[in-house]
Amino acid sequence: MNKRFLSTTLALTIGFSSFGMVHTAIQPIQVEAATTNAQNNAQAVAAKADQLIQTGKSLMGQATYSNSVYKSTYPYKFSCASFLMYIFEKNGVDLGTYNENYMIQQGTYVARNQLQKGDLVFFKSKKTGTDPDHVGMYIGDNKIIHMADSKQNIVISDLNSKPYYTENYVSARRVLPTLLSANPATKGDKIVENALTYKNKVTIGTSTSESSLRFTAPAFVDFIYRKSGVTLGATTLSNLMNQGSTVARANLRKGDLVFFNSVKGSKTPSLVGIYAGDHRIIIPNSDGVMTRVLFVDYYTEHYITAKRVFSDSNSSPSVSAPSASTSANQIIATATGLTSKAKFGYTYNESALTFTSAGFTYYVFKKHGIDLKDKLASKQALVGTRIQKSQLQKGDLLFFSTNNGGQDITQTGIYLGNNQYISMTTNGIVKQNISSTWAQKNFVTARRVLK
């Protein structure tokens, strides 16, 4: 259940390169590197979920639990998260991570009473920390398949069978179909599919020989885009970063190029990635071609810019992410639903539903897989994108001082629309008007954390 089962060195070495051949007792499923699928095609999604379940069940009695050793070939050794990472990748769906706290931020939130096959289900039994410490996959009939522990290994469990599942349930995320291609596939889909197809066939180094599939990192990017019908004509990082038009990190689409530095604050790129949708990036470096998620602190701290280098009439931000309005309504429903349940307190306590104002917003957003990074209002004010009061949308975070005009951020709220916001105060959770005298005097800033 421990998501940090690999050392940094081992994680970078293994990355998410191809897994070896499976044990002969298991029949591997032959799939494309990326699967073309309509976003709302329930039949196709159900078929993919059945493939995932088949692969998971085939490993029962074959794989054993380990939170320190990872083996993707017989004798298989998995943690709960790497088990799911493995069965998804074997079926052409790239989660890009073996960490529960990153998995819970992918796809779309789904209520417990609306679970479908293939959904990821998260639990937290440890009293310390805020991240989930266990994950399983829903297989229908109120059951999940998961790598449970060193005694049980892979098991199928009913969600009502034990107090563990009822008391420690955190959330669920639907990653099918958001991690799949659209139908018809966009140019961005094709770029991602080509990159994943060549992922285990190329060598990334200091020279380029296309005939032997050896490339520098930027030459690999140029090659993949050329294969996808996009001519870049740039084989250095600096030239790649001068291509196309700049796009905000919050508006990334499949096929955008994302650049990172090696020295914080530097504008000189040392790493380029291909955005693969739903916070995932494909990174060519000396360890090969790997997939990662942008949630990792390194990519936040070393991010420089992103460039859109092609136009695609079929591309749509909604292909890889839920609409902001849908997420906002879900968050608002959670926040307002706590009105008579949660109370103010200086100690963050989820079991007792006791929060400060920032603890309240942290908890509400966390329930929907969004990490506000901290339970201090001043730290939350650094998350997302700064917006003007005139640009407020449902789900935006509001930040206030509490001394009539000061700039020290000490209070948070969630914008509800129609000039209203909800906030935890010393009097409990209340709805207030942003045009009130107090709010006008104490408003400091607003941030948008929903796409």
pLDDT per residue rounded down to tens, the chain (451 residues): 444 433 333 333 333 333 333 333 333 333 333 444 444 467 778 889 999 999 999 999 999 999 999 999 999 999 999 999 999 999 988 899 999 989 988 888 888 899 999 999 999 998 877 789 999 999 999 999 999 999 999 999 999 999 999 999 988 999 988 788 877 788 999 999 999 999 889 999 999 999 999 999 999 999 999 999 999 988 899 999 999 999 988 889 999 999 999 999 999 999 999 999 988 999 999 989 999 999 888 998 999 999 999 986 554 443 344 455 678 888 998 999 899 899 999 999 998 999 999 999 999 999 888 889 899 999 999 888 888 888 899 999 999 998 877 678 999 999 999 899 999 999 999 999 999 999 999 999 999 998 6
User: Does a structural domain hold residue 82?
Assistant: yes
For residue 3, tell me if it sits in a domain: no
Beta strands 280-285 and 288-293: pairing type?
A: antiparallel
- Residue 1 is assigned to a structural domain of this protein: no
Same structural domain for residues 169 and 28?
Answer: yes
Whole-number Å distance between alpha carbons of 397 and 413: 6
User: Are residue 32 and residue 145 in the same domain, yes or no?
Assistant: yes
Compute CA distances 294 → 13, 129, 204, 291, 399, whole Å: 18, 21, 21, 10, 25
pLDDT number for residue 35: 42
Strand partners of residue 203: 214
Sheet of 280-285, strands arranged across: 245-246, 303-308, 257-260, 271-277, 280-285, 288-293
**How many Cα atoms within 13 Å fall on the side-chain side of residue 162?**
9
Domain boundary among 174, 208, 227: 174
Q: Which domain holds residue 440?
A: 324-448
Q: Do residues 128 and 23 share a domain?
A: yes
- Where is the domain boundary, 292, 319, 346? 319
Considering 174, 207, 227, which residue would you say is the last residue of a domain?
A: 174
* Same domain assignment for residues 234 and 329: no
Q: Is the same domain home to 160 and 225?
A: no
Residue 181 maps to a domain: no
Return the percent helix, strand and coil in the chain, to nearest 5: 30, 25, 50
Give the pair of three-digit tokens for residue 393. Answer: 């949308």
Residues 315 and 374 in one domain: no
For residues 135 and 70, what is the distance between their CA atoms, to the nearest angstrom? 17
In CATH, what number is assigned to the domain containing residue 333? 3.90.1720.10
In a domain, 312, yes or no: yes
Q: How far is CA 86 from CA 16, 388, 437, in A?
A: 9, 43, 55
pLDDT at 24: 30
| Residue with the two structure tokens 């009822």 | 166
d(Cα 176, Cα 115) in Å, to the nearest integer? 12
Residues 294 and 152 in one domain: no
Res 52: pLDDT: 97
Answer yes or no: do 267 and 332 share one domain. no
102 located within any domain: yes
Q: What is the pLDDT of residue 314?
A: 52
Based on the structure, what is the number of domains in the chain?
Answer: 3
Q: How far is CA 440 from the centre of its chain?
A: 35
Q: How far is CA 90 from CA 107, 152, 350, 391, in A?
A: 19, 23, 37, 44
Q: Is residue 80 part of a domain?
A: yes
